[in-house]
Structure 1
C-alpha cells in the first residue's frame, strides 16, 4: 500500500488551511518569477550600459538561472529540517526567507550607484531566494498530502498546483500594468522596485497567516512513536534504489516542461516564427493560464473518481492532439482562433497536477520532504536552465519545435500513466525506499 497512510474519509485539513497554503504558494511563485518578466529592466539597471546589450541580457538571465541552480540546496537543507523538526516550522522558514530576500532585492542599489557591487548583491539575494523557493514547493504538496485521505488526495493537491499558476497570472498582469503605466526610463529609474515591493508585502502576509496551520497528523504520529529519523548518509544509501527516484525525476520532467513551455515560453516562441498580434497573444497566454488552473482541478477530480493512471493517460492523449492542432492552426490560420486554441492547450496541460499526486506517495514520511524536494528541484534546475535556450534554438530551425516537444512530453506522460494504472497500489514503488 502507498506511504500516504490516511485511508478513511475524514480530513484534518480545514478550508482556511488549504487557502493559506495556496496563497503562500502563489506568492512564492510570484516572487520567484518577477525577475523573469523584468529581465530587460534589470539588465539595464544592474549592468553597465556601455556593454553589448545582448551580453548584458545574457548576464541578467544567468542571474535568473542561478535561482534554479540553488533550489536543490534549499530542498536539501530545509527539506532535512522538515523531516526532522516538522512541516510547519519548515514552511515558516521558507516563507520568511522568500519574504526577506524579496524585500532586500527591492532595496538594492543600482549599478549607477555602487558599480559592480550591485549585480553581486542581486546575485546573492537571488541565490537565497532560490534556495527558499526550492523547499517551498515540495513542502506545500507534502503538507496537504499528510492532512487528507487518499480518496481526495488528487483533488486537494490539484488546488495546490493550480495556485502556482495563479501566482504567475498575477505576475503577468502586474507586469502588463507596469509597462502600460510607466515608460521604459521610469521603470529603469525606480519603477522596477514596485513588483518586488508588492511581492515582499504579500510574502509577509503569508508569514503572518502561518499560525493558521498546524503540524500534519502523519508527522505528529511519527514523532509520538519516536520513529527513527535516518541520517543523510543512510538516505543516500536508500537512494541507490532507483525505482522511486527515477519515476520522481520523470514526473518532474513532465511538470517542469508543461509549466515552462505553455505558461512561460510559448508566447516568445510563437513570435519568433509567426505574425501574431502581441496584445492578443498576451491575453491568450493569460487565458491559457486560467484554463490551466481549471484543468489542474479537473484532472484532480477525475483522478479521485477513477484513478490517477487513467486520468493521466486521458489527459496526455488530449495534450498530444491539442499541441499538434495548436501549431497546425498557427501555420494555416495565422492565429485567427488563438484564444480558443490557447485555452484548450492550457486546460490539457492541467495533467501536470497529477505529478504531485504520485510524487508524494513514492517516499516514506521520515524522508518524504527531502526526497521529493531533491528529485523535483534537481530535475527542475536542469530543465529550467536548458529548456529556454534549447527550445529557442530548435524553433529557429523548425517552427513547430514546441509542438514536437509537447508531443514528446505527452508520450512520456502517457507511458507513466499506463505504468501507474497497472500498479494502482504502488506496491512495487513502495519497496524502493524501505528504511
Structure 2
C-alpha cells in the first residue's frame, strides 16, 4: 500500500480547517486526555502499588518487575479490545465505538481505587488488579486507533498529521494530568498517608473523569467519510481483517514499526523514567515528578510542532529528525542523572520535545489503509505492536537495569535508530511520489 494513498481520505482535501473541525479536534483531544489519564495513572503509583499488592518480603527489584508486569498486562489485552471494536467501527460506525470504549475504561478504573490490598486478601489482590488492568487495556485498544481514525476522517487530508498530533497531544495531556495529580498528592500528603489511602484518590478521580468524557462525546458527529461509505454502500462486504491481511501487509508492517517508536518514546522516557530514576539512581521522587510534568508539557508542544511540520515537509523527514533528537537527548539525560541533577529540568524538557514524534506516528499509520478497513488496519497494527513492544519493554528494562544501569537509554537509542531508517525510507517515497505527480 502506498503511504501516500490518501485520495479516499477526505473529499474536501484542499479546504482549510473550519470551526467544526476545530470543535471536533478539541472535544476529541479533551476526551482522549481524560480517558488516557485513567490508563496511565497506574504507573505513577507503581512503587506504592507494588508494596501494597505484593508480599512485603519480596526484593525491591522483583516487586517492581511484577508491578510493571501488571502494567504490561494492560497492553497485552489491547489487541483483543482493539480488533473487536475496530471490526464494528468499520461496520456500524466510528462514533458508536468511540463512546463504548470510554465505558469500558471508566468502570475498571473506579474499581481499582476500591480494591483491597495484599494485607487484606492475600494473592487475590494482585489477581483482581490484573483483571482490572486487562479490562483497561481492552478499552484503550479501541480508543486510540478509533480516535485517530475519527479525527482524520473529519478534517481535510492535507491536515492529517496535524489532526493526529492534536489528538496525540490530548492523550499526552492525560499523562500530564496524571503526573500533576501524583505530584500534588506527593506534596499534600505524608508518605504514610499516601500509602495508607491517598493512592486510591487518583483512581477514583479517573472513574469520575471517564463519565465526564462520555458526556462530552455526545456532542460529536459520525465522520463524513463513514457516512458517505454508508450512503454509497462502499463498506467492506467481507471481514475487514481478512482484506487487511491479504492486501495490506506492507501497511501493517510500516504501522507496527511506527508504533514501536511510539512505545519507546512514551513508555520508557515519560512513564517509566520517574520510577526508574527514583528507584535506581536515587533521585528524590517529588523532584523527578516535577521535571516529568515539565517534560510532558514539552511533549504536547513537540506533538503540535511535529504535526504542523509533517503536513508541510512530509512525515518521513520530520520523523527522522525527531527520532535522532530523542535517541541522543535521552541517552545524555539518563547518563547524566546518575551523576548529577543539575540539568534535570532543561534536559528532560528537551527529551519531552523530541517525544513529540508520537504526534506523527498515527498519521503514518492512517495513510497506510483505505477508508473501508482503516479502523481495523490501524487498530490491528497499533495494538499488536504495542502488546509486544509496550507490554514487554517495562519488564525487560527493569530486569536488565541491575546488570546494565544504562539499559533504558540503550534501548531507546536502538529503537530510535530504527525510526531514522523508517523515516528516511518514507521521505524517499514522499519525494518520489511528488516528483512523479503531474504538474497542473
Cα 1:228/1:339, change in 2 over 3 Å: closer
Among 336, 341, 366, the residue aligned to 2:342: 336
Deviation larger for 68-77 or 184-193: 184-193
Counting only pairs closer than 5 Å after superposition, residues 82-231 of structure 1 correspond to structure 2 as 82-111=89-118, 116-231=123-238
Segments of structure 2 that go 5 or more residues without pairing to the other structure are 434-440
Q: How many residues align?
A: 425
Deviation larger for 112-121 or 277-286: 112-121
**2:253 is equivalent to residue 250 of structure 1:** no
Deviation larger for 214-223 or 335-344: 335-344
**2:408 is equivalent to residue 418 of structure 1:** no
Look up the match of 2:79. 72
Point out 4+ residue stretches in structure 1 off by more than 6 angstroms: 50-54
TM-score by length of 1: 0.88
Mapped to 1, the partners of 2:327 and 2:188 lie a distance apart of 39
Look up the match of 1:431. none
**2:317 is equivalent to residue 310 of structure 1:** yes
- How big is the shift at 1:278? 4.5
Cα 1:123/1:220, change in 2 over 3 Å: same
What does the per-residue CA deviation read over 1:221-250, in whole Å, with 9 as the maximum and x for residues that have no partner?
000011242433x62354145211111110
Cα 1:192/1:401, change in 2 over 3 Å: closer
Mapped to 2, the partners of 1:311 and 1:238 lie a distance apart of 27
Counting only pairs closer than 5 Å after superposition, residues 266-345 of structure 1 correspond to structure 2 as 266-271=273-278, 274=281, 276-327=283-334, 329-330=336-337, 334-345=340-351
Look up the match of 1:432. none
Mapped to 1, the partners of 2:417 and 2:233 lie a distance apart of 43
What does the per-residue CA deviation read over 1:284-320, in whole Å, with 9 as the maximum and x for residues that have no partner?
2221111111111111111122222222222233334
Cα 1:280/1:44, change in 2 over 3 Å: closer
- How big is the shift at 1:373? 1.0
Mapped to 2, the partners of 1:273 and 1:57 lie a distance apart of 11
Preserved contact between residue 16 and residue 212 of structure 1 (Cα < 8 Å): no
What SS does structure 1 have at the residue aligned with 2:236? coil
Deviation larger for 81-90 or 107-116: 107-116
Look up the match of 2:10. 5
Preserved contact between residue 11 and residue 147 of structure 1 (Cα < 8 Å): no
- How big is the shift at 1:36? 2.0
Look up the match of 1:367. 373
Mapped to 1, the partners of 2:142 and 2:222 lie a distance apart of 17
Cα 1:423/1:265, change in 2 over 3 Å: same
Look up the match of 1:430. none
- How big is the shift at 1:21? 0.9
| RMSD across aligned positions (CA) | 2.7
What SS does structure 2 have at the residue aligned with 1:65? helix
**2:25 is equivalent to residue 18 of structure 1:** yes
Deviation larger for 59-68 or 270-279: 270-279
- How big is the shift at 1:138? 0.6
Deviation larger for 316-325 or 344-353: 316-325
TM-score by length of 2: 0.87
- How big is the shift at 1:353? 1.3
What SS does structure 1 have at the residue aligned with 2:222? coil
Preserved contact between residue 96 and residue 207 of structure 1 (Cα < 8 Å): yes
Cα 1:169/1:218, change in 2 over 3 Å: same
Deviation larger for 412-421 or 353-362: 412-421
Preserved contact between residue 28 and residue 98 of structure 1 (Cα < 8 Å): yes
- How big is the shift at 1:414? 1.7
Mapped to 2, the partners of 1:266 and 1:380 lie a distance apart of 18
Mapped to 1, the partners of 2:407 and 2:225 lie a distance apart of 44
What does the per-residue CA deviation read over 1:118-159, in whole Å, with 9 as the maximum and x for residues that have no partner?
444333322222101111011111111101112222112111
What SS does structure 2 have at the residue aligned with 1:239? helix
Cα 1:199/1:310, change in 2 over 3 Å: same
Cα 1:191/1:131, change in 2 over 3 Å: same
Preserved contact between residue 270 and residue 296 of structure 2 (Cα < 8 Å): yes
Deviation larger for 185-194 or 367-376: 185-194
Mapped to 2, the partners of 1:330 and 1:63 lie a distance apart of 27
Cα 1:191/1:320, change in 2 over 3 Å: closer
Among 405, 408, 412, the residue aligned to 1:402: 408
Cα 1:426/1:31, change in 2 over 3 Å: farther
What does the per-residue CA deviation read over 1:392-428, in whole Å, with 9 as the maximum and x for residues that have no partner?
344433443333333222222222222112222897x
Segments of structure 1 that go 5 or more residues without pairing to the other structure are 428-435
What SS does structure 1 have at the residue aligned with 2:430? coil
Preserved contact between residue 43 and residue 272 of structure 2 (Cα < 8 Å): no
